[in-house]
Amino acid sequence: MTASSSREVIVEADGGSRGNPGPAGYGAVVLDPVTGETLAEAAEYIGVATNNVAEYKGLVAGLKAARELFPDATVHVRMDSKLVVEQMSGRWKIKHPDMKPLAAEAGRVFPAGRVRYEWIPRERNKHADRLANEAMDAGKLGRAWEPSASTAALDSAAARNAATLPPSGPPGDATAGAARARAALATAGGLEPGGTRTAPGGTHPAPGGGTAPGGGTGTGAWPGAVSRPTTPDVQTGPGTGAADGLFAAEEAAPPATASGDFEAEAAAARPAALQPPPAAAPRQGWSGGPDMGAPATFVLLRHGETALTPEKRFSGSGGTDPELSPAGLRQAEAVAEALAARGTVQEIVSSPLTRCRQTAAAVAARLGLDVRVEQGLRETDFGAWEGLTFREVRERYAEDLDAWLASPKAAPTGGGESFATVARRVAATRDRLTAAYAGRTVLLVTHVTPIKTLVRLALGAPPESLFRMELSAASISAVAYYADGNASVRLLNDTSHLR
């Protein structure tokens, strides 16, 4: 299998030795970063070797499996071996003669700029660990590991479902409940023969029917955060609810007070069989965990209105790239004033599209900051639907619209982007920015789909949750990302600065 375009994949790898040195084996799994789907598995008994050699061989096997699937991929390697992660990241020297050629081999699989490494605790690497043990068990019996006999995918899924990991986010961040929801989503689609997990479909319940916590207004920091002495920009604030609604494609999202809007049209147009089910009751509970330090806080600003906004037309990255309307320019000034009053934004990053760059420029002028442009924050390419209303799309491309409403993998007519494609792009962008801005508060000026996708991924919610969020022009949302990988949604669709 080869890819028609570059994408991101996750490689988890492990190795073990029963004696160190002793009978050894490795395991590796290639995962879809958005759905958690198992794309490939590899395992092998390697005879007598050390733990570190087995771990490096697992890394090489995982990278090669990813390259076989997607030669142009960018790869996020996750391992519980601190040694391998630090050496392959270039922070530690490789001194052992047995590991130098293995590290060199791993470095040749993909260009260095397309691979990044992350250390994870052993309990988060159970799939690869199970594969390594299966390989060692098979070697003990004088047999080769066989993919058809593997239960690693099943075992790791069961472990995630049964896990009650202590949360490590701030108060109000229901990490334990989110972890259970993610585990349920990862296995809801079942398993295909050979242990390959199917991606979650478009009809699983969302892991919560309520709105995102937070919504504070006025001066001060983003709501829902823990007050920490070293980070005065994260303080507890008041909260307001965020309105629910079906997904509105970029400019098609009207103000929160509109009636008869695009979201209502989408709901009415969706066939009964494609209607999303009622949301599941949210899980409750939070207990103390380790202090992970100041998070990377993304303040998510949707750009102001363009001429297409009141007409409720699709306007993504494949259309005319409209400028802000006079109303949109006023909105940009209003949000700039509100953010200046808060005084917490330290960096500004913008989508390359004109409407976002104009909105970002208004804020930057008030805050005295520069604007960095990030291609990954651009809106979905809506293909042949660009510039059309929802009704016009229904009249011209009814079957394509039904497919798009039913599945995140369906693309708009004429070669646009599917939501699954956008989610991979946004997730990769999120990871780059959280690494670059750890401990800082960053304003991301972007569009409907990227913002909703960031919120969805932070909540561990299924793809159909995109249809259950409303996002108004010039609205503010916020998500905090902690060093342990947890996220906390602080705010959604705040438009108080426009009133």
Binding residues for substrate: 355
User: Is 303 annotated in the active site?
Assistant: yes
Specify whether the CB–CB gap between 84 and 63 falls below 8 A: no
Bridge partner residues of 78 (DSSP) = 12, 118
Q: What is the helix (H) or strand (E) element at residue 54, kind and residue range?
A: helix 51-69
| Tokens, residue 86 | 């630090």
What are φ and ψ of residue 316, in 5° steps?
-110, -140
Q: Residue 153: which of 274, 271, 30, 337 has the closest Cα?
A: 30
What are φ and ψ of residue 24, in 5° steps?
-135, 160
Pairing state between β 371-373 and 191-192: unpaired
User: Is residue 287 classed exposed, middle or buried when 0-12, 13-18 and 19+ CB atoms within 10 A define those classes?
Assistant: exposed
Q: 332 in helix, strand or coil?
A: helix
Q: Where are the beta strands (DSSP E) in 95-136?
A: 115-119
Contacts of 14 (CB under 8 A, 6+ apart): 26, 27, 28, 55, 58, 79, 80, 81, 125, 128, 129, 131, 132
Bridge partner residues of 491 (DSSP) = 478
Binding site, annotated residues: 355
Q: 299 in helix, strand or coil?
A: strand
Residue type, 177: G
Q: Which of 55, 379, 386, 470 is catalytic?
A: 379
User: Is 379 annotated in the active site?
Assistant: yes
Pairing state between β 487-494 and 476-481: antiparallel
Q: Which of 76, 127, 204, 303 is catalytic?
A: 303
Catalytic residue annotation: 303, 379
